[in-house]
Amino acid sequence: MPRKSSGGDYPPNWNQIAEQVKTEAGWKCVRCQHIHEPGHILTVHHLDMNPSHCEWWNLVALCQQCHLSIQARVVMERTWLLDHSPWFVPYVAGYYAAQLGLSTDRSYVIDHAQEIIVRAQGRGK
């Protein structure tokens, strides 16, 4: 069953936010690396499905095809049994940092991603 957005509305400056996310991704899908072009139009997906939640780690530039795949399968609250795909690591680490009350500064999260993931998943005990 398809997952549906919940939790709020898009902010008034959504177009600017989406443009910035796409620009930071180099106008490529962060998952498959396909450039923005017909058939692979770049979108911005809220990983937690809440359009009002616009933290960097919750917004991912995906082509339409990857967006549909990710939206149906990625649930941020899930306990993950397997290692994360490289493209997903910064985003899930940012999510976990927020859940753990750690800094969600992008540089901090990227530099400490594996430590954050291990801590959040209880593997570091």
Q: Which amino acid is at 120?
A: A
Whether the Cβ atoms of residue 45 and residue 71 lie closer than 8 Å to each other: yes
Would you say the C-alpha torsion 91, 50, 25, 67 has a positive or negative sign? Answer: positive
pTM summary value = 0.88
Residue 63 burial by CB count (10 A; 0-12/13-18/19+): exposed, middle or buried? buried
Give pLDDT tens digits for 31-54: 999 999 998 999 999 999 999 999
Give pLDDT tens digits for 16-31: 999 999 999 999 999 9
pLDDT tier at 78, thresholds 50, 70, 90: confident
Task: Write down the number of H helices and E strands in the chain.
Answer: 5, 2
Residue 125 has pLDDT above 70, yes or no: no
Q: Tokens 């990983």, residue?
A: 47
Q: Tokens 């690591």, residue?
A: 89
Q: Which amino acid is at 41?
A: I
Residue 67 has pLDDT above 50, yes or no: yes
d(CA 93, CA 104): 9
Residue 1 has pLDDT above 60, yes or no: no
pLDDT tier at 68, thresholds 50, 70, 90: very high
pLDDT tier at 81, thresholds 50, 70, 90: confident
Instruction: Tell me whether strands 42-46 and 59-63 are parallel, antiparallel or unpaired.
Output: antiparallel
